[in-house]
Amino acid sequence: MNELRLAPFQGITDVVYRNVFRKHFGGIDKFYTPFFTGIQKDNSKSLRGEEIDPAHNDLNRVVPQILSNHAEEIIRFANQCKSFGYKEFNLNMGCPFPRVANKTRGCGLMAEPERTTAMLKEVFEHIEGIDFSIKCRLGYYNEDEILSYIDTFNTLPFNEIILHPRIGKQMYTGEASLERFSELLPLINKTLVYNGDIFDVEKFKRVQSVTQERPVALGRGLLTNPFLAEEIKGIARNTNEKKARLHNFVVDLYVERLRHAGGSPKIIGSMKELWKYMMNIFDDPQNVWRKVKKVNHLDEYEESVELIFNEHNLL
């Protein structure tokens, strides 16, 4: 059975989501944190919160991710992760947003193979006792940029490479190219983890025909349908029970988010981000979305969620 991972989503799959998800659903073997930035010193503020605190994370299943183009910062992050007890950390080489990529960060690194390879080598020279993985796309401007990285991927000791087979300029348009992924598989001697556009078991099976037993990372498909990993692993149950389980999850996530935010209605924002995906598991997604999109107060939000579960069924 393929190991399944949950790809990171800034603003959605934070420590609260990951822990509530694990309480309610099975099937995910590894979780990545949304990216950390600004690790200017050892005791950086961003590394002092629950997001990375080992007391709130399963060290065997959670992989902290960094967005950076500085070897020194990445090494500092790796050492911090190691001292917390994490087994692996991950470098984001896939974020396609221009304000990130134009500063040669995230997917922007894909267009600068020489500079990036030198940076990666420097990182490996200074870390030990922690695995280093990357998450990348085919390129930023074109899908052949990754070819300049084959040698880097094969010679440096990455424990794995997660590949979302789109280019950065595409953002999320078009389709992730399973064909391109399958052409690259025999060229790369590290574990290549597929990520992209898996929204149902059927698509997973098509991906699996290429990736075989290798791990696969789920993204928007799992945010939309939190049962997806269970369905893929054949451990999902019947539809009525599913609706009750989803309802419990949504309420629990809301309550936990509120608790963490000291009761602030700001958390409605992150619940809405999730609903943008989750609405698609209901029979009338637009109607579901209309019920949450304009809500600004906690009582309105709670009422809307009850209406959704009373008036709609899961697909």
Ligand X SMILES: Cc1cc2nc3c(=O)[nH]c(=O)nc-3n(C[C@H](O)[C@H](O)[C@H](O)COP(=O)(O)O)c2cc1C
Strands 216-218, 30-32: pairing kind: unpaired
Phi, psi angles (nearest 5°) of residue 185: -45, -55
Say how far apart CA 159 and CA 146 lie, in whole Å.
18
Phi, psi angles (nearest 5°) of residue 212: 55, -125
H or E segment at 227?
none
Phi, psi angles (nearest 5°) of residue 196: 150, 120
Q: Are 198 and 223 in contact (CB under 8 A)?
A: no
Q: How far is the CB of 257 from ligand X (least distance, A)?
A: 17
CA 47 to chain centre: 19
Q: Which is nearer to ligand X, 162 or 309 (CB)?
A: 162
Piece of the chain touching ligand X by CB under 6 A; list 7-15, 38-46, 109-117, 292-300: 7-15
Piece of the chain touching ligand X by CB under 6 A; list 138-146, 193-201, 231-239, 250-258: 193-201
One of 2, 4, 9, 123 touching ligand X (CB under 6 A): 9
Piece of the chain touching ligand X by CB under 6 A; list 55-63, 80-88, 139-147, 215-223: 215-223
Judged by DSSP in three states, 67 sits in coil
195 binds ligand X (CB under 6 A): yes
Q: Which is nearer to ligand X, 35 or 275 (CB)?
A: 35
Say how far apart CA 248 and CA 233 lie, in whole Å.
22
Q: Give 52's Cβ-side CA count (13 Å radius).
A: 28
* Binding pattern for the stretch 125-164 against ligand X, x by CB under 6 A and - elsewhere: ----------x----------------------------x
One of 21, 25, 31, 35 touching ligand X (CB under 6 A): 35
Say how far apart CA 12 and CA 18 lie, in whole Å.
9
226 binds ligand X (CB under 6 A): no
One of 5, 8, 167, 275 touching ligand X (CB under 6 A): 8
One of 64, 219, 226, 285 touching ligand X (CB under 6 A): 219
7 binds ligand X (CB under 6 A): yes
Residue list 262-281, contact with ligand X (CB under 6 A): none
Q: Which is nearer to ligand X, 19 or 133 (CB)?
A: 133
Q: How far is the CB of 171 from ligand X (least distance, A)?
A: 9
Q: Alpha helix (H) ranges present in the chain?
A: 15-24, 71-84, 98-101, 113-126, 150-155, 178-184, 201-211, 220-224, 228-232, 239-260, 267-278, 285-293, 298-311
Q: How far is the CB of 166 from ligand X (least distance, A)?
A: 8
Q: Which is nearer to ligand X, 12 or 298 (CB)?
A: 12
Tokens standing for residue 96:
């396609």
Q: Which is nearer to ligand X, 8 or 27 (CB)?
A: 8
Q: How far is the CB of 93 from ligand X (least distance, A)?
A: 8
Binding site for ligand X (CB under 6 A): 7-10, 34-35, 65, 92, 94-95, 135, 164, 195-198, 218-221
